[in-house]
Amino acid sequence: MRHETLPNARHLQPAGLIPVAPELMLCGCPELVGTSFSYGREEEIFGEGEEADFVYRVVKGAVRTCKMLSDGRRQIDAFHLPGDLFGFEMGARHRMTAEAVADTTVLLFRRRQIEDTASRNVDAACRLWDLTLRSLGHAQEHMILLGRRTALERVAAFLIHMDQRLGATGHVDLAMPRRDIADYLGLTLETVSRALSQLQSEGALRLDGARKVTLDRKRMSAVVED
């Protein structure tokens, strides 16, 4: 049994004092105040197999959670953007690795505190259950994408989804490289790049630099068509 340790962190910024800012709380509970941590690009937040003592909320930046096989094959199960929670686990240990995709700030919540709160506050417990159901819903959507969608459909669906999460402006600013998109979509980075080029040649999007994409939302939707 090892001692509970703090995670790797560049800079510790202690949370504000007496009047708790609402954005520091989890599920609106004043007793669940997060501690701010920052991670550099590509830095590991937690690794598969580590003790799952904390739950995280993204404040700034982007995080990927993924699984790897021994031969290096990787599957990214989700990208977490500002406002998103990640790090919930069934057992005592993480079954995923979490890494910062870009320079990232997160809020850290002690898992025991969350569980204590949930066991006393019914409303918080329901909200936590709902969050887990939401993750499950996302995973289920992703399974049909991975199992049954073509490469072009996957890339289009990904961009549409990112656009919606970033405000549905049609201007998507991708935080992650091609390789990460590929590992999220079950493709290679070359196939992702080709799909983007094809979507551009079809007039469904425009690439204003590799990470900046402008979508024609109507034509993009026509590509996925479920």
Identify whether the C-beta of residue 106 lies closer than 8 Å to the C-beta of residue 57: yes
Provide the residue type at 58 as one letter: V
Total residues interacting with its own copies, rule: CB under 8 A: 42
Q: Is 92 in the site for its own copies (CB under 8 A)?
A: no
DSSP label at residue 14 = P
In angstroms, the first-to-last Cα distance of the chain is 49
Tell me, rounded to whole angstroms, the distance of Cα 213 from its chain centroid.
Answer: 19
Shorter beta-carbon distance to DNA: residue 82 or 186: 186
Among 102, 146, 189, 217, binds DNA (CB under 7 A): 189
Q: Is 22 in the site for its own copies (CB under 8 A)?
A: no
Among 14, 201, 203, 225, binds its own copies (CB under 8 A): 225
Q: Is 211 in the site for DNA (CB under 7 A)?
A: yes
Among 139, 164, 190, 206, binds DNA (CB under 7 A): 190
Sheet with 171-173, edge to edge strand ranges: 171-173, 212-215, 205-207
Shorter beta-carbon distance to DNA: residue 59 or 151: 151
Mention every residue, 6+ apart, whose C-beta is less than 8 A from residue 157.
Answer: 145, 149, 224
Helix axis angle for 151-165 and 189-201, nearest 10°, is 80
Helix (H/G/I), strand (E/B), else coil: 204: coil
Shorter beta-carbon distance to DNA: residue 73 or 138: 73
Question: Least Å distance between CB 150 and its own copies?
Answer: 10
* Structure tokens belonging to residue 192: 């992702």
Which residues contact DNA (rule: CB under 7 A)? 150-152, 177-179, 186-194, 196-197, 207, 209-211
The residues binding its own copies (CB under 8 A) are: 67, 69-70, 73-75, 77, 88-90, 95-96, 115, 118-120, 122, 125-126, 128-130, 132-137, 139-144, 146-148, 183, 185-186, 225-226
